[in-house]
Amino acid sequence: MILASKSPRRKEILTHLGFQLQIKSKEIEEISNKESIVEQIKDISFKKVLVVALENPKEYVVGADTLVEIDGKVLGKPKDRKDAEIMLKSLSGKTHKVITAYTFMNLEKEINITNHVESLVYFKKISDKEINWYLDSGEPMDKAGAYGIQGLGSIFVDKIDGDFFSIMGFPINHFIKTLNTLGITVESLSKI
């Protein structure tokens, strides 16, 4: 299976379950003219996978996109340290939504599925000292919302309501259920 993503977290989640992955990602403009935030992220996930699937029509291709939403505002990956600081301050002491959309495609077999999973994350109040410590770690820079729930950013999370792996970047349980509807079982994962 081809993973249309450079995300080390997505690769880790999928390989841990036994998928034999090739990494082939293409840069796309991550914009969508869809109306709702959910439809936008699903559209971006679809575009990321389609561009790779078109070059590999016989292969299974999977990809995903994750965003953080708070008070109707979308937080992607921070542009720089200041942007990351602003994001972390906006999340401090509040609840936010993490939406991960994934697409699974095989053009030859006419498989084209895009789904999404939404989770709530409750952040504790974060001090300026903690934010600076976290920024100094460098961890926030390649993550939507400027934190990684599986890393140092975990200390900011009071609780979650939803799918941990979706927050991390790939909703593996939801994905496996989708594969099961196609007749692909967990025992056959290493073969696709």
- Integer Cα distance of 105 and 113 in angstroms: 6
Q: How many CA atoms lie within 13 A of 78 on its CB side?
A: 21
Structure tokens at 184: 């692909």
**Active site annotation includes 136:** no
- Integer Cα distance of 156 and 153 in angstroms: 6
Residue 159: strand pairing partners: 122
- Integer Cα distance of 96 and 147 in angstroms: 12
- Integer Cα distance of 157 and 77 in angstroms: 18
Set 65, 83, 128, 158: catalytic member: 65
Please identify every residue annotated as catalytic: 65
